[in-house]
Amino acid sequence: MNWDCQKVTNNLIDTIENNIPGSKKKAIQDHLESCPQCYGLVKRFSHLWQELPKMEKLIPSDRFWPELFAKIQDYEKPQPLWDKVITGLRNSLRPAAVSLILLLGIFFGYHLGNMPRHSNLSEVLPVEQYITEFQDFPIGSVGDFLTKYEIQVQEERP
């Protein structure tokens, strides 16, 4: 099997972690022996990849436990009655407010959707009103379409 540089590049991690089956491994080794560029790349990548498990573990600061302890003490502190009432109200009102907004949305959406529609366009607004109010209708616009439609309807009427 003849391996080119692209194939070796695509299998770098498997090569370094020794996850390549026997025949492919031989092909890669043969290629690396003959290609100094790929050999250098594999070597550098290998050094880089080997740093991964050796990444330095960071240590939390000395303030970690005292600050955490302070948070625990705050949590354990008995809450004044007024604070409890406000927290309780906030916790129960929030879902109630969301439900109310949803219901209002459904209510208004339903009524908007069921508003009466006009089947005859000329009953909505006479064409003359369109023409006096909007002097120029761009070609292809709704106004242009309505104007042409109304003219056509009037011409077809006996």
Partner 1 sequence: MLENELDDDELIRKISSKDLIAFQQLVERHKVFIYNTCYNLIGNDQQAEETAQDVFLQVYKSAGSFLHKSKVSTWIYRIAVNRSLNIIRHNKRSRWIKSLTGMETEASGGEDPDKQLEKKEMIELLKAAVDSLPEKQRVAFILNKYENLAPKEIGEILGISTNSVEVRIHRAKINLQKKLVSLLKNKPEKL
Q: Between 10 and 141, name the residue whose CB sits nearer to partner 1.
A: 10
CB of 92 to partner 1, least distance (A): 20
CB of 67 to partner 1, least distance (A): 6
Q: Which residues bind partner 1 (CB under 8 A)?
A: 9-10, 12-13, 40-41, 44-45, 47-49, 51-53, 55-61, 63-65, 67-69, 71-72, 75-76
CB of 110 to partner 1, least distance (A): 35
Distance (Å) of CA 16 to CA 1, 57, 113: 20, 23, 64
Q: Between 63 and 77, name the residue whose CB sits nearer to partner 1.
A: 63
Residue 89 half-sphere exposure toward CB, CA atoms < 13 A: 6
Distance CA 135, CA 149 (A): 17
Contacts of 15 (CB under 8 A, 6+ apart): 8, 25, 28, 42
